[in-house]
Structure 1
Amino acid sequence: MARINLRKFIAEHYKGGVSARDVIREALTNSIHAGGKFISVDLHFSERQHELSPGSEERRVLEQITISDDGEGFTTENLNFFDEICTSHKDSIGGKGVGRLAFLKYANKVEIRSQLSSELVEFVYTPEFKPEEVKKLPKSGVLNTSITLKDLKEKINTQVAKLVSSICDDLRLLLFLKHQSGHSITLKFTHNSRQPFDDVHVFSGENIKAELTREFEFQGEKFKCYLFREESPKKGIVAMLCADELCIEEFVISKRFGICRHLIFVTSDYFNKRPNIERP
């Protein structure tokens, strides 16, 4: 099999860069597709004094991200696909088989730990990753898989409230539809930033309600829209274009309209077929 230079591949296909929002959304989507029902995201901010915001104790520099879930984990089959690029493993759900490469664009070190029913799987994911580097130990336990992104390539000031809100928007439709089909998913966000945001923020599919749904046809293409509402103090109207139930682009129609915030999610096979390889 011809080998791929992953460093060059990543540089070519992620020219626009990768954000914390991108990698967390990718990891959460993977967790959901792995059957996870309870998924946690821990945002660890630098505790070094010189990086604290002047005049306050708020921590702004994101240092580490850990995503954990109770899905099926890194089974032998999943590991076999993990070493390949652009596989057909996730064709049925719109996956392109390259999303995990965003982790390598964003962080220098990606640690993976997966407790299966009778086996513990551990490895560090790098551009030079080889299947033989995976450590497997016979160990029984509760299903749990965690991905930790360390040594982030850029030190960027991060607003927790904005980041978490954006991720919840990205996954709102997917969580809603999963709940409608009998698969309720709960996301839990934690952080140590000391910023003015809940220390623990929970976002669950069972609490997401669609105000309206509408279908229409334009130039031979069929579209379906879902309207969601967020109460005050949030305001405005946002349109979200979705591919395979995930937001791929958003348009702010108004920032101040009304006494609440309305989100319009637009879905179509037209969108499913067109996003580029960088789509999560």
Structure 2
Amino acid sequence: MSGNITANIQSIVDNLDHIEWKQAIYEAITNSLHANATEINITFKSDTLDYENTKKKIDEIIISDNGEGFNNENTEAFQEYGTQHKKIKHNIGAKGVGRFLYLKVFDSVYIESLDKEIKFSVHENIVVNTLDTKKYSSTKVYFKKPNIKLIIDYSKLKTSIQEHFIAYFKLLNTKEVDINIYENNEKQLQIKSSDIPEFKTKEFKVNKHSFTINYVFNNKNYNFTEGFYCADNRVVIKNSDLDQKKKLKAFQNINILFLLSSEYLNNNVDSTRANFTIMPLRTSQQNIFQDTSWQDIQIALKKEIKKIADENKISIDKIAKENLEESLIIAPYLSYYLKSNEDVYSVETLLDNAKKALEEDKKTVRDDIEDNQRLLNIITQAELAEYIFDRQLTIDKLKKLTDEDAIEKEIHNLFMKQYTKDEKEDYRSNNLWLFDDRFMSYNKVFSEAQLKDMFPKLIDNLERPDILSIGEMNIISNTYKKNEITDIVIIELKKASDKITPARAEEQLIDYAGYINEAYENTKIRIWTYAFLKFDEKTENSLKNKDYNRVLTKSKYPIYYKPFNAVNTIINFIDYHALADDAHNRNKTFMKILKGKETVS
């Protein structure tokens, strides 16, 4: 005897939302649990050659169980599209499309159970062949020809199954269920339904609807915050997977694992059973079955979690205040956007949200400056404060790069990224102010072609300085136009070496300055030159004997400088420690003001 479903499978599958392959596995496990199975075996079959330590591509998945199997009643339900059979019998809800989820991932499915053989695919209706005798003592489902490349991480799969079914195991209180996972004939791992933590339970109302929260609070084995929204005693979606406008974003410093269930959630799960149809916000268009939004649910849920924390002697308000204060210490320039922390966000989230708000305000001002003068003032103050603060971060990074193992490229990119050559660079893109604040606006970096065109003798004799920057001091947007150049900065960023003596470095820098000025007939432009030396007592004596001036710093060695009028340059010899210390001294007053330790009179 045989029968077949009358619905068009292709159209049903096409109308289902996209799912992850694991969703098909979840559906099969759920069917086994619905059949009162106590042992479920999942076998991943692979024809890939068995190379050691090589993850294999999965060609077929077989799921077997010792449950009730396909009797006449549930076989009839299986053949009907949109059946409510499981909901009536078990109160564990089915939308009647679970078997079609399989075909979102696999080409075909074949089932053996009791006296039934069932097969179906996207291109064929469900065909049920009823045998004369009960040939099969267990139920086996064969998922054939996956339409995606399946390579399994078994540890991650175990975690995802445990998380997905934790609500089922907790809410139904079923007897022990073992889920065994195999690759070919080799057992990979086992999941036991009893391996769940002890939950506590609370009831609360959202509008007229009753909700139940089952939770584990501050359990050392669950050192994270996550929520699971359930429908009909199974997880539908994790809080972390919800859309931004729907999820609970609060309490990121509190370890709580919770399951939320309600008849309202049962009635508003979508056809894939992977999400809900609940709107983010309540609207006038909502129907009588959707009189409560995600916003309503999350507001009520936050209140319950605060109560749970209070019962466990944890002050939510104290954590919120501490996180807010730490955020202000880390980023004082965002103070306008860091005024409250009602949702007890983590420091990271507070800072991310504040930065996003600042960027949104910038866009608003760009679109309409005239009507947003107050907002413009707030933004400019924040950007100035951010710039000063970012300077300090750069100084701190330079201090970390001053050890002997720091590579030349890392230090080079700290001052200005290598190969910078376009005109989009701004004051944020270079850090030449580390040498002198007058260089804040110097961001035009000459290419070799430009050097050859404007300063041919320099390029012919150049031993390639690491950075050659040029700018006009009185404007922010610097120039590549030769006749408008007033200053050039040459920085030799060669790694300090015993082979580079002060005399050799001085000679080279004087030559560079001379080659540049030879390109001008009636004037000489100012040239600022910097070079790093391997400082020791011998180096210092050499510089002192050459009448170099000194700028004292808190580091071991000062900065040495000397003007050379013939080529209109000042040569500076420096080490990275002294440079970082000098920059820190120039920035520290601004930092004190930002942190409220000094006021401007």
TM-score scaled by structure 2?
0.39
2:121 matched residue in structure 1? 126
SS at match of 2:225: strand
Check if 1:76 corresponds to 2:87.
no
Cα pair 2:84 2:93 within 8 Å, conserved: no
**How much has 1:4 moved relative to structure 2?**
2.4
Q: Match of 2:8, as an amino acid?
A: N
Counting only pairs closer than 5 Å after superposition, residues 171-250 of structure 1 correspond to structure 2 as: 171-179=165-173, 183-191=175-183, 199-204=188-193, 206-228=194-216, 231-232=220-221, 235-250=223-238
1:159 matched residue in structure 2? 153
Change (3 A) 1:190 1:263: farther
Cα pair 2:42 2:64 within 8 Å, conserved: yes
2:8 matched residue in structure 1? 5
Change (3 A) 1:65 1:228: farther
**How much has 1:236 moved relative to structure 2?**
1.2
1:114 matched residue in structure 2? 113
2:259 matched residue in structure 1? 265
Q: Match of 1:223, as an amino acid?
A: F
Q: Match of 2:20, as an amino acid?
A: S
**How much has 1:85 moved relative to structure 2?**
0.3
The structure with the larger Rg is 2
- Answer 1 or 2: which has greater helix percent: 2
**How much has 1:218 moved relative to structure 2?**
1.9
Change (3 A) 1:279 1:136: same
**RMSD, aligned CA:** 3.0
SS at match of 1:28: helix
SS at match of 2:108: strand
1:55-98 Cα shifts (integer Å, max 9, x gaps):
x7231533322211111111122222222100121233211111
Partners of 1:235 and 1:48 in 2: how far apart? 39
1:19-39 Cα shifts (integer Å, max 9, x gaps):
222011111111111111222
Partners of 1:108 and 1:217 in 2: how far apart? 45
Partners of 1:140 and 1:151 in 2: how far apart? 25
Check if 1:58 corresponds to 2:54.
yes
Cα pair 2:172 2:233 within 8 Å, conserved: no
**How much has 1:140 moved relative to structure 2?**
6.1
Change (3 A) 1:168 1:267: same
Partners of 2:140 and 2:185 in 1: how far apart? 21
Change (3 A) 1:139 1:86: closer
Cα pair 1:74 1:121 within 8 Å, conserved: yes
1:97 matched residue in structure 2? 96
Partners of 2:208 and 2:176 in 1: how far apart? 34
Cα pair 1:189 1:201 within 8 Å, conserved: yes
**How much has 1:273 moved relative to structure 2?**
0.6
SS at match of 1:236: coil
Partners of 1:39 and 1:126 in 2: how far apart? 24
Counting only pairs closer than 5 Å after superposition, residues 26-65 of structure 1 correspond to structure 2 as: 26-45=27-46, 47-48=48-49, 57-65=53-61
2:272 matched residue in structure 1? 278
1:162-193 Cα shifts (integer Å, max 9, x gaps):
222112111112112332xx533222222359
Check if 1:138 corresponds to 2:133.
yes
Q: Match of 1:268, as an amino acid?
A: S
**How much has 1:257 moved relative to structure 2?**
5.5
Cα pair 1:60 1:159 within 8 Å, conserved: no
Partners of 1:149 and 1:34 in 2: how far apart? 19
Partners of 2:139 and 2:73 in 1: how far apart? 15
TM-score scaled by structure 1?
0.80
Change (3 A) 1:42 1:169: same
Change (3 A) 1:226 1:191: farther
Gaps of 5+ in 1: none
Partners of 2:179 and 2:256 in 1: how far apart? 21
SS at match of 1:207: coil
SS at match of 2:98: coil
1:176-215 Cα shifts (integer Å, max 9, x gaps):
2332xx5332222223599xxx8222222x3323232111
Cα pair 1:192 1:199 within 8 Å, conserved: no
Partners of 1:201 and 1:110 in 2: how far apart? 25
Partners of 1:77 and 1:155 in 2: how far apart? 36
Q: Match of 1:161, as an amino acid?
A: S
Change (3 A) 1:4 1:189: same
SS at match of 1:24: helix
Structure number with the bigger relative contact order (C-alpha 8 A, sep ≥ 6) is: 1
SS at match of 2:199: strand
Partners of 2:166 and 2:151 in 1: how far apart? 25
* Identity within the alignment, %: 25
> How many residue pairs align between the two structures?
258
Partners of 2:231 and 2:47 in 1: how far apart? 35
Partners of 1:231 and 1:60 in 2: how far apart? 35
**How much has 1:135 moved relative to structure 2?**
4.7
Cα pair 1:35 1:72 within 8 Å, conserved: yes
Higher deviation after alignment, 214-223 or 120-129? 120-129
Partners of 2:236 and 2:37 in 1: how far apart? 22
Cα pair 2:95 2:271 within 8 Å, conserved: yes
**How much has 1:231 moved relative to structure 2?**
5.0
Partners of 2:185 and 2:260 in 1: how far apart? 34
Partners of 1:72 and 1:175 in 2: how far apart? 19
Change (3 A) 1:63 1:220: same
Change (3 A) 1:45 1:224: farther
SS at match of 2:73: helix
Q: Match of 2:112, as an amino acid?
A: R
Cα pair 1:240 1:251 within 8 Å, conserved: yes
Change (3 A) 1:207 1:165: closer
Partners of 2:225 and 2:113 in 1: how far apart? 40
**How much has 1:3 moved relative to structure 2?**
3.7
